[in-house]
Each structure stands twice: as structure tokens, then as C-alpha cells.
Amino acid sequence: MARMFAFRAPYSSRGFVAPFESNDVFIGRNVFRDYLRDSGGKLSKGGANDGLIDSFDDLRSFDFDPRKVDPLIREFYENTSAFNLDFEIAWNPLLQPAGFLVYHLIARVIQQLCFPPWNSSRPGRIDSEISMIDVDSDDDIDFRGWARTISVDKALLYIGAVHVFTEMASASRPDAYLCITFPLPFSNITAALKLSNVDSGFRMTTNTGESRHGGTYLVFPHSRCFSMLPGFGLDEVFEFSVVPGSDEIRVVHEESWLGIQAFTMRYVITRK
């Protein structure tokens, strides 16, 4: 069941859930440093060629074959810091007023999920900073922190923790999800994204009836367990492709609320 509830469930029961939260109303770019300082974990800054995941092959599942994906996309995920990201955003006029309210009354206040509520007049550059998160101080990296800022004014767009969750859907059917956790005050929003092949690119979405865990969730972490609700009717779709004959990745990111498209972000990704 993709949309799940949980009450005081152990973390081992839902491998896509992460324990991150802020004990303050302010999130900001130091949220993982503050969380790990209190929990005893370790945070280290990533290098010039660190990626969101260790190996793109980790995302292999019964309906996604990473070997069919263009090597440039694989390189982006494994060496994210070595790429530039330029973006444009276009809002659904019906939901743009709500976007303005969320941005000015919530997102800018807590410094998290600050998606611009205005349509782009020209492409904007995004800077990425990768960090390594070792929750239990065992010297194994558990998550990759990903802070994205707007280059022109260094304003934080969002900060999230990325990891790959895998399981065996059956004895012969491996399953995998790319999971992104966005810390919030005393909670987090977690997106469990399922991948599928599309030509030499891929599609990634929270909204699929073919997966057990795909979805967006509001998570309330506790010390050894968590509670969870479906995430406000939010859904995301990403489509990755490479422009033929070029070193340019194109990404279309559609955000929906209750089945209504809220905004579309378009990225152009190139090597630095």
C-alpha cells in the first residue's frame, strides 16, 4: 500500500523513513550538523566529486535497469558536485496564490523548501553542497546531505538527506527507492521515489500503484520509533533525459497537490 499510516513503528519496519527533524522552528543549512551534535553522529563535508548516491546500480529493481540509462545521468548522481544546475519554474495560476502564502509565511521563516512562487523570467543557477551523514558514528555513510542554494543571492532553496532503500518484493524481485527527507520543525517530509526506464533516461515518481512504498509522507521521529501520515496529498514526478549529441541533461519536475499540478521546474544540468 503506497499511502501508509504508522504509529510508534520501529524504523526497521519502513526502511525509507529517516529520523531527521529540527528541535527549533528554524531549519536552515546547519540542520544536520545540529541534529548529529545532539545524537552523537558525524557530519563531514563532501568533496568536489561527491554524489547523491554511491552507485547508480543500487537503484536496480524489478522494473528499472540502471544499465539502460545514459552514462551522463549516472555520472550526475555519482558525482553531483561536479555539475551545474540551471532551472526555470512555472506555476499553475490557480495555485500560485497559495504558493506565495506558503513561501512568505512558512518557507522563508523556517528556511526550508523555499520554492520561488513567481514564474522565471530567465534561467537561474543553483549551487549544490553535498555532505556525508554518519548517524551512528560507525564510519559508514548512512545518508548524503544535499543543500541547494540560489547562486545569485545564496538563498537556501532546500536541504534534504538522500539515501537508497532496497528490499526484496518477492524471492526473485528486488525493489529500490530513492528517498529524500526534508527536516521540518519536530517532523520531516519524506519522499520515496520509484524509478522506471524511459528510453535512455528515466522517470521517477512518488505516485505509482505498482510499488509498496512510493509516496510522500509526514513523519514524526521519536528516539527508537516514528509515527507517519500521508503527506498532504503531495506528489512528485521527475523525468530525466539527455539531449542527443550533447553533454546536457534535461529534467522536468512536476509537483502536484490533490491531483492538481502546482508548478513545473525545468532543469538543465551540465558539467562544470
Q: How confident is the prediction along the chain (272 residues), in pLDDT tens digits per residue? A: 445 788 889 998 899 999 999 999 999 999 999 999 988 899 998 776 789 999 999 999 988 999 999 999 999 999 999 999 999 999 999 999 999 999 999 999 999 999 999 999 889 999 999 999 999 889 899 999 999 999 988 999 999 999 999 988 766 778 899 999 999 999 999 999 999 999 999 999 998 766 788 999 999 999 889 999 988 889 999 999 999 989 999 999 999 999 999 999 999 999 98
Q: Which residue has the cell 530567465?
A: 122
Which residues span the domain enclosing 13? 6-84+113-166+173-198+213-233
Q: Say if 152 falls within a structural domain.
A: yes
At residue 171, the pLDDT reads: 66
Q: Say if 118 falls within a structural domain.
A: yes
Cell of 137: 558514528
**Domain total for the chain?**
1
Q: Say if 177 falls within a structural domain.
A: yes
Q: Say if 224 falls within a structural domain.
A: yes
Distance (Å) of CA 124 to CA 58, 120, 240, 262, 265: 31, 8, 19, 20, 11
| Residue 137 zone, left/alpha/beta (φ > 0; ψ -120 to 50; rest) | left
pTM, rounded to two decimals: 0.93
Q: Say if 79 falls within a structural domain.
A: yes
At residue 231, the pLDDT reads: 84
DSSP string, 158-174: EEEEEEEEEEEEETTEE
Give the amino acid at 128. S
Q: CB-based burial of residue 90 (10 Å sphere; 0-12 exposed, 13-18 middle, 19+ buried)?
A: middle
| CB 54 within 8 Å of CB 48 | no
| CB 144 within 8 Å of CB 166 | no
Q: Say if 37 falls within a structural domain.
A: yes
- CA terminus-to-terminus distance, the chain: 41
At residue 2, the pLDDT reads: 41
Q: Say if 48 falls within a structural domain.
A: yes
Q: Say if 255 falls within a structural domain.
A: no
